[in-house]
Amino acid sequence: MEVLEAIRKRYSCRAYQDKAIEKEKLDCVLEAARLAPSAKNLQDWRFVLVVDKQAKHRIAKAANNQMFIENAGAIIVACSMSKEKMRCGQALGPINVAIALEHISLQATELGLATCWIGSFYPDKVRKLIGVPEDIDIIELMAVGYPADSKGKPKRKPIEEIFCYENWQF
């Protein structure tokens, strides 16, 4: 599959089959995250894969009751070990983790799986559920699994609205 094909195929899946992800597929998805670029090559990301049914149920509740994620084969809890800022002033942790998660999402898509980014969750509740230490930031969750829905029509701004050349022209 071409990269652009996977990008086009990816969508936020909000209904999953109650089906485990095969180990080979999961390993492939994790490898895609492992190879992601990171600021200073810090690789500060840490991922907890929640696959136990009851644990997924509890995480879904902590994700603002987004219960559709409990059926996903895995809920990935993506954390950063770093609170460092880059010279530009931006925190590198969330950026590094986001890049790795999108690698996961695209690789999963290529393998016939689907994903959903989950930013609507209560970090302190998730922290307690899976024992993430207080000094580690929980950046994002991602559901990964076999889809039970299909992609709708994507709503995206046209190129001209989001890109310009040479100078700020918005």
Ligand X SMILES: Cc1cc2nc3c(=O)[nH]c(=O)nc-3n(C[C@H](O)[C@H](O)[C@H](O)COP(=O)(O)O)c2cc1C
For tokens 């879904």, name the residue: 60
Under the binding rule (CB under 6 A), the answer on residue 7 touching ligand X is no
Rounded to a whole number of angstroms, the minimum distance from the CB of residue 44 to ligand X is 18
For residues 107 and 28, the answer to whether their CB atoms sit within 8 Å is: yes
For tokens 């770093």, name the residue: 82
Q: Binding ligand X by CB under 6 A: which of 6, 12, 20, 94?
A: 12
Subset of 33-92 contacting ligand X (CB under 6 A): 66
Could you tell me whether strands 114-118 and 74-80 are parallel, antiparallel, or unpaired per DSSP bridges? unpaired
Query: What is the full DSSP assignment across 147-168?
Result: BSS---------HHHH--SSS-
Q: By rule CB under 6 A, what count of residues binds ligand X?
A: 10
Under the binding rule (CB under 6 A), the answer on residue 100 touching ligand X is no
List helix spans (H) across 37-84: 53-62
Q: Which one, 23 or 157, has the nearer CB to ligand X?
A: 157
Q: Binding ligand X by CB under 6 A: which of 116, 126, 142, 144?
A: 116
Residues in contact with ligand X by CB under 6 A are 11-12, 14, 66, 116-120, 154
